[in-house]
Amino acid sequence: MSELSELLSRNFAWAEKIKSRTPNFFKNLSKTHKPKYLWIGCSDSRTAPDRLLDLPSEEIFVHRNIANMVHSDDASCMSVIQYAVDHLKVDHIVVCGHSCCGGIRAVLENQTSGPIDQWLRPLSVLKTSISGRLQQASIDDRSLALAELNVVKQVTNVCGSTTVKTAWEKGGKLSVHGWLFDIRTGILKDLLGEIKSAEMAASIQKQYF
């Protein structure tokens, strides 16, 4: 059996197991999609949000890319935010970075090239802001510091999106959060608390950048 055939077999076994436990699971799943959370995270396979949060996958609307970036000119990410806020009516947007991030480390070690270099270019700007105070720190400590600062930056980018600003202007109860997942411990760290207005977002922007 090929590796891909094995994956299909595992899927079939999984579906049968679910149906044996909850016969109407897939029937009910197909009827509605009302997640409370939009998760913007890294593509790293170790950081699947349903696993980290111990939640059913249908409760989380997910967008993932390398280093959990939020570019204002990224139509994919902006469309996800718009759909989540305007149509799914999510209550929370979580930007989550993580320790031991390959994208972060590549920027610190100047090992990016091609499309990924352009994608991660904003991280190079952030890198200069930590290089002075962490010049003598280990690569792991610098990587963690940059990962945390990157989460803060991407949170401000989410808050600056037209969709989120409009939702707040209309009095929506949307909250934005910045978290960091430590792969070494399995624990999520809340970096910024709950951001519920443009004024709070502006305060964070001023404090960090």
Q: Which of 40, 93, 33, 41 is nearest to 57 (CA)?
A: 33
Which residues have a catalytic role annotated? 42, 44, 46, 98, 101
Residues 2, 4: Cα–Cα separation, whole Å: 5
Please give the helix or strand (H or E) that residue 60 lies within, else none. Answer: strand 60-65
33's tokens:
């999609």
The residues, ordered by sequence, that sit 6+ positions from 31 with a Cβ below 8 Å of its Cβ are none
Q: Which of 117, 93, 106, 95 is nearest to 167 (CA)?
A: 93
Helix H, strand E, coil C: the string for 93-160 is EEEEEECCCHHHHHHHCCCCCHHHHHHCHHHHHHHHHHHCCCCCCCHHHHHHHHHHHHHHHHHHHHHC
Sign of the C-alpha dihedral, residues 169, 152, 131, 47? negative
